[in-house]
Amino acid sequence: MRPVAAIALAVAIAVTYQAPAFAYLKLGTRVGTRTVTLKWSQLPIRYFITDRGTAGVTSTQLQQAVQAAFATWDGAATAEVSSQFVGFTLTNPTSGDGATTIGFQNRPDLDRTLGATSFMIDTVSGAIVESDIFFNTAFPWSVSAQGETGFFDLQSIAVHEIGHLHGLAHSAMGETELRAGGRRVLAAEAVMFPVAFASGTTLGRTLKADDLAGIGDIYPATSYTRGTGSISGKVTKGGKGVLGAHVVAFDLRLHTLVGGFSLSDDGSFVIAGLSPGPHVVRVEPLDDGDIESFFDATLNVDINFRPQFYEKTVVVPEGGGTSGVELKVVAK
């Protein structure tokens, strides 16, 4: 087995500095002098379930919820991914044992973390060789199909964490408000938004256009690239590039929202996975969540600008891209 290095991530963090302008925020790692997208090189993704339940959820129910969450991603029309439940295990979901394990863990120290995903990566190729997920039993869980008031829907959180397991980072497609004790989500249009909906809802079980574009970017289905297109350009302020701006394309025909980020100092962005046709482009600062949920804390992400629209309708060609979109933002 080739030497590997462990990279433990409490939440998904994207390595973006000097990285190519990807269409969607994906997890990456440094391999030598280049940044490589984290992805599984071999499918199906084989995983174990820790044979331990929690109050209100047996290990069998845990396995069923996780399997359903995997099936949600496996069924994405934009991507070719697959998974396989291998069996139950007594080991905890920890890195370094060579097996992808998903289970409950009691982590009262992480009082704002419902679940987390960690990775073991082949440092030569950048391929994921192991990924573990734990669900924090410091919170109450439910597997009810309709949701259960006061309990977090296990399948919804599993869909989010398994998105990370596949290599997706967080999406900024959502709105929050600051309240005492933290942020409250007002709305989200991606299961990969970093802040969960309130307990009792099962809305997080369904992938949105932004999620489908992301998974399709990493594991594209044969027809996906041919049938979609992209928008690329720059976000600038006072003539200089803006790093970390959230750029969203709204499809005027399908009424879907897909986002991307400006991932370099010159403000370049690419939004891929878009259906052909006219789109409206909007840019906003990354102020609906902690920047560290999206980017490394050392990066100079600029959030001092007003949201605004691009002044032209942008038409996405099938199997191609429209370039030259420059969003000139102004300070707040």
Partner 1 sequence: MIVAAVSSAARSCLVGLLIVIAWCLAPASAGAQGYVPQDIPRSGNLEISVGAGWLPGSDLGTASADETRNPGTGTGPFVLFQADTRTESAPSLHGRFGVYLSRSVSAEGGALFSRPDLATRLTGDAESAPELTATETLTRVVVDGSVLFHFTGASFGGGRGIPFVSAGGGYLRDLHEKNEVAETGHELHFGGGFHYWFGQGKHRAGVRADVGVSRRSGGADAIDTARTIPTLAGSFAYLF
182 vs 320 by CB, closer to partner 1: 320
Query: In this structure, is the dihedral angle defined by the CA atoms of residues 76, 230, 194 and 257, taken in order, positive or negative?
Result: negative
For the CB of residue 318, give the shortest distance to partner 1 in the complex, in Å. Answer: 8
Is 176 within 8 Å of 183 (Cβ atoms)?
yes
For the CB of residue 180, give the shortest distance to partner 1 in the complex, in Å. Answer: 16
Residues 116-155 that bind partner 1 (CB under 8 A): none
Question: Helix, strand, or coil here: 178?
Answer: strand
For the CB of residue 269, give the shortest distance to partner 1 in the complex, in Å. Answer: 17
∠ Cα 225 231 236 (to 5°): 150
Alpha-carbon span 306 to 300, nearest angstrom: 17
Q: Which stretch binds partner 1 (CB under 8 A): 32-40, 83-91, 161-169, 317-325?
A: 317-325
Closest CA to 58 of 154, 132, 161, 173: 154
98 vs 317 by CB, closer to partner 1: 317
Q: Is 309 in the site for partner 1 (CB under 8 A)?
A: yes
x/- track of binding to partner 1 for residues 257-276 (CB under 8 A): x------------------x
Which regions of 126-255 does DSSP assign to beta strands (E)?
127-136, 141-142, 152-153, 174-179, 182-188, 229-237, 240-241, 246-251
Q: Is 250 in the site for partner 1 (CB under 8 A)?
A: yes
52 vs 183 by CB, closer to partner 1: 183
Q: Which chain residues interact with partner 1 by CB under 8 A?
A: 173-175, 184-189, 197-198, 200-201, 203, 208, 250, 252-253, 255, 257, 276, 278, 280, 282, 284, 306-313, 315-317, 320, 322
